[in-house]
Chains A and B, each alone.
Chain A
């Protein structure tokens, strides 16, 4: 891939998804673009770029953004966050209002279902709670909607949860078996396509929690700041923003308070804060 070609692909990724692709990512961009080149039976990345730029429907652009973004995920990644979510949910249970949690970069759905399992355990499988999963990649969302996962991906789910929420889909040798998320869990979870680089989002807001993990790391500083502000706006007072452990808001003016490892809270829910403090103490004494 020529430097010029690389630059133009990066510019597209930056313009449409706010991706911060620097020099050194040539091989990655070439490999990911290659997927589309082969899928369309084209001869070269240059031919693909032409096709991409000529595409008026936006479908190919969506496909491009789907492959150029990183969709790496897993069940109960950074498990501490789910402990925090469970403690928060225990407080929400007393509030008796619908609980809504948004997984903003859900990829192939593992995070949304991990959230759902956590909420189902705390608020009950028939509780009034919903999870929305959004992502920029349509193929990833397709996998999320299928809700079928290879056995080898399920190791990080607690055996109890596995028994409760997974159904054997296909028998197979070793890792060949697949499991489906139980319908009772799935009905709480909805998916939709959303580009996080284009705030404001058409969401009602007032979310109890937003998981936006391993997104910020890919974005340019400006997009990151805009996204951070937008996520803060969409939280209800006392709502929690979960970033990945390696991420920071990098916005000194944010009103969100750091209440846990990469967990921030919009001020205004003393009940929750007390619960968190209690949890923190418990954790401290537990060690």
Chain B
């Protein structure tokens, strides 16, 4: 390019080489104005874009003074970058305003020295960029960012080279220097973040991508431990849309960071079932609310868990009490049952005895009745005998009359015999035989008298005996009557025994019924106690499981009585229905109910084979 400019300066006497020709062509194709001058600021080259800016053909401007053409505020001053480039032998860049258009055209131009074959400086080449839009955009942005002065968040704007073009007071205070002294300085020198001068720099990213970028970094403006920041960078565009700089706003996230770390720590501990963890930092605003809520929430869960653990303990204790009680009831039922069994068998024996008694009473009654009949019959016989004896006595009396007749006859016969003997004696001899006969008759009469006397005596004895017999019979009769009376009484007594036995049997039946009822009650009690035992067992298992579940949590158990507010807020865990339903779901999940998988349910075989 320098050679090409030099050749132009040589007024085309030298035939340009191919490379130079090509370079010239390229320079003409560049859309940015490019101008080359010699040490006297005479234009030696101007490309198409430059000529277009001035409003003519490139050839028409050659040989003219550049300051005449461009009329910038730098022209003829020490600010002229071409002069500076030639003077210092290095590229110089600057911004100025050209007067080629009314109102001035803001431009940025970069000048580089052109050297001759021996290295001497023979001129300069500059390229010019129209920065009208850049300036307009920047001024618009400046207007906008002016509002930012009042924002407490640090806000700053930079140009494409990261020179600070604006920083608000909040930003300045973050850096710790007055805002005015910061403009024009490189932003990375001010903030010294962990992103500065790395690909992480969000403002560079925003400017290169044209999109808003946000990031977190640690700013160390004073070289101290640093402040964690979140900064958001947005590209600033010129009128034609090209990116001319970036705007960033910075948020001090040291508190947020701290809160997040704290929350992360707390949540991490919670994930490990540690409910003893609390936030201990002092924060402001929303962060205070968050940590406060978190603390209260964890505290509430901790308290609830503590209460659940206590409840599980209590349930466990209650279950064992129920089990003990049920056991006692079961034992009572067992004792009661054996007592009932004994009572039952005693009652059965008693019933047998009663029945035997009733039988005996019936038999005794029969015997008594039969004795009564016999006694009655005896009485009747005695009565008949008394009649018979009376008749015997009457016959004896009649016989006594006859005996008196015979006695009379014997007396008269004796008299007759005496008379006959007297007559016989008068007859003497002739009557001797007759005397013998009379004697014999007298003897017979004496014998008859004697027989009659003895018979009379016998009859008298018989009559006396008959009288005695009558008396005895009467006595016997009285005795028999007595026996009948007594047998009647006996019969009544036996009847009473029989009736009592019946009543007893009835009573025994009632006792049996009562015992059967007692038996039923006992068995119902046994069933209830068994059911209680079963329920207690299940309850204990569930309480254990609950305790194990709660036991996975690390709790602060020194907590005093829970705050009422907490209880109100967290009625949930105390709700027994919800708790039990959760509990049971878990339990059901734990216990697989597939008997077939465990034992072959070949019921029929197992059972029928037995």
Contacts and interface: CB of A to CB of B under 8 A. Distances in A.
B338 A261 contact: yes
Contact of B533 (A31, A72, A78): A72
B465 interface: no
A66 to B, nearest CB: 8
Contacts of A70: 527, 530-531, 534
Given A34-B584, A70-B531, A246-B523, A144 B607 contact: no
A144 B526 contact: no
Nearest to B541: A150
B351 to A, nearest CB: 11
Nearest to A133: B606
Given A38-B581, A130-B610, A202-B608, A138 B601 contact: yes
Interface in A61-87: 63, 70-72, 78
A194 B593 CA distance: 18
Interface stretch (B229-237, B276-284, B328-336): B328-336
A116 B72 CA distance: 117
A203 interface: yes
B334 A246 contact: yes
Interface in A114-141: 130, 132, 134, 138-139, 141
B535 A244 contact: no
Contacts of A274: none
Interface in B560-610: 581, 584-585, 588, 591, 593-595, 597-599, 601-610
A145 interface: yes
B349 interface: no
Given A70-B530, A217-B523, A246-B522, A132 B333 contact: no
B306 to A, nearest CB: 22
B524 A217 contact: yes
Given A38-B584, A193-B601, A248-B337, A218 B527 contact: yes
Nearest to B599: A145
B523 A248 contact: yes
A31 B599 contact: no
B523 A216 contact: yes
Contacts of B522: 246
A100 interface: yes
Contacts of A132: 606-607, 610
Interface string B316-341: 00000000000000100110111011
A39 B607 contact: no
A204 B584 CA distance: 42
Contacts of B591: 139
Interface in A205-260: 207, 214, 216-218, 221, 244-248, 250, 258
Contacts of B523: 216-217, 246-248
Contact of A204 (B534, B537, B605, B608): B608
Nearest to A204: B610
B456 interface: no
A234 B535 CA distance: 33
B75 to A, nearest CB: 91
A142 B594 contact: yes
A192 B603 contact: yes
B303 interface: no
Chain A binding surface SS class: mixed
B503 to A, nearest CB: 21
A78 B337 CA distance: 14
A218 B344 CA distance: 21
Contacts of A8: none
B516 interface: yes
A190 interface: yes
A14 interface: no
B595 A102 contact: no
Contacts of A145: 595, 598-599
B531 A138 contact: no
B519 interface: yes
Contacts of B585: 38
Contacts of B535: 28, 31
Given A190-B610, A204-B608, A216-B523, A245 B338 contact: yes
A221 B581 CA distance: 37
B345 interface: yes
B338 A144 contact: no
Contacts of A22: 524
A246 to B, nearest CB: 4
A158 interface: no
Contacts of A171: none
A7 B609 CA distance: 38
B584 A202 contact: no
Interface string A29-63: 00100110011000000000000000000000001
Contacts of A170: none
A146 interface: yes
A217 B588 contact: no
Nearest to A150: B541
Nearest to B540: A152
A103 to B, nearest CB: 11
A99 B171 CA distance: 99
A233 to B, nearest CB: 14
A203 B344 CA distance: 32
B519 A248 contact: yes
Contact of B337 (A38, A130, A193, A262): A262
B516 A250 contact: yes
A6 interface: no
B473 to A, nearest CB: 60
Nearest to B597: A142
A113 interface: no
Contact of A202 (B516, B531, B604): B604
A226 to B, nearest CB: 16
A149 interface: no
A203 B606 CA distance: 9
B531 A72 contact: yes
Given A245-B337, A247-B337, A214 B607 contact: no
B58 to A, nearest CB: 89
A254 to B, nearest CB: 12
Nearest to B531: A70
Nearest to A34: B584
A191 B588 contact: no
Nearest to B340: A248
Contacts of A100: 610
A73 B144 CA distance: 86
A58 to B, nearest CB: 13
Interface in B337-356: 337-338, 340-341, 344-345
Contact of A35 (B338, B520, B588): B588
Given A31-B535, A132-B606, A262-B337, A244 B599 contact: no
Contact of B534 (A72, A202, A248): A72
B593 A139 contact: yes
Contacts of B594: 142
A146 B591 CA distance: 13
Contact of A250 (B334, B519, B598): B519
A204 B520 CA distance: 32
Contact of A142 (B520, B531, B533, B599): B599
B599 to A, nearest CB: 3
A247 B521 CA distance: 11
Contacts of B527: 70, 214, 217-218
Given A192-B605, A258-B345, 9 more contacts: A22-B524, A71-B534, A191-B599, A192-B606, A207-B610, A244-B526, A246-B522, A248-B340, A258-B341
- Nearest 7 CB-CB pairs, A to B? A145-B599, A192-B606, A246-B526, A142-B595, A245-B334, A72-B534, A246-B333
Interface of A: 22, 28, 31, 34-35, 38-39, 63, 70-72, 78, 100, 102, 130, 132, 134, 138-139, 141-142, 144-146, 190-194, 201-204, 207, 214, 216-218, 221, 244-248, 250, 258, 261-262
